[in-house]
Amino acid sequence: MKNIAIIYGSSTDNTKNVARKIAKKLSAENVLLKDVSTVDFSDLANCSNIILGTSTWGLGDLQDDWNSRIPELQKVDLTGKTLAFFGLGDSSSYSDTFADGMGLLYEAIEGKGFKHVGETSTDGYSFDSSVAVKNGKFIGLALDEDNESNLTEQRLNAWIESIIPELQ
């Protein structure tokens, strides 16, 4: 595995804490861990692997810092890069928009020439609807730190095991 960039948007530190756990669990030559509010997107040119993370707010809204930076991300050449996604949401209070932020992030850059990895089964999750579900699977790792934090470590470990062979 070569260079990995982990870019996250976090308003309450839950997403930031998950991003830090991911960075710690990955064995890579170089991990760039950055909050999206401070990242220089030109740094992604040197990364063959990119992991994007976000929380979901309100009724399925993308995290604020991501919202303002999406246009810059859309200008980045992602051709040939490997991308994975993770997203946090509240499956109880917002069951019909669970982890939508992750889906919105994916949709914003879909078709930009990257290899998408890290889809996860919706089995074991309790929610009604999510734009992060494509073809019956989450497009990445969905976590609920509010109601299911006891499942985070298990879900995180399984997801990392699944993406490691896919990273370049």
Reported as a single tens digit per residue, the pLDDT across 112-135 is 999 999 999 999 999 999 999 999
Query: How many other CB atoms are there within 10 angstroms of residue 94's CB atom?
Result: 22
d(CA 59, CA 95): 10
Instruction: Determine the longest span between alpha carbons in the chain, in angstroms.
Output: 40
Tokens of 147: 């109601």
Compare 63 and 27 and report the one with higher pLDDT.
63
Judge contact between 63 and 57, C-beta under 8 A: yes
Query: Does CATH place domain 3-166 in 3.40.50.360?
Result: yes
The structure's pTM equals 0.96
Beta strands in the chain (DSSP E): 3-9, 30-35, 49-57, 61-62, 82-88, 115-116, 120-121, 133-134, 137-138, 141-143
Average confidence (pLDDT) over 9-37: 90
pLDDT(28) > 80: no
Average confidence (pLDDT) over 12-22: 95
pLDDT in tens, 43-92: 898 899 999 999 999 889 999 999 999 999 999 999 999 999 999 999 99
Which value, to the nearest 10 degrees, does the dihedral of the CA atoms of residues 145, 22, 36, 39 take? 160
CA 80 to chain centre: 18
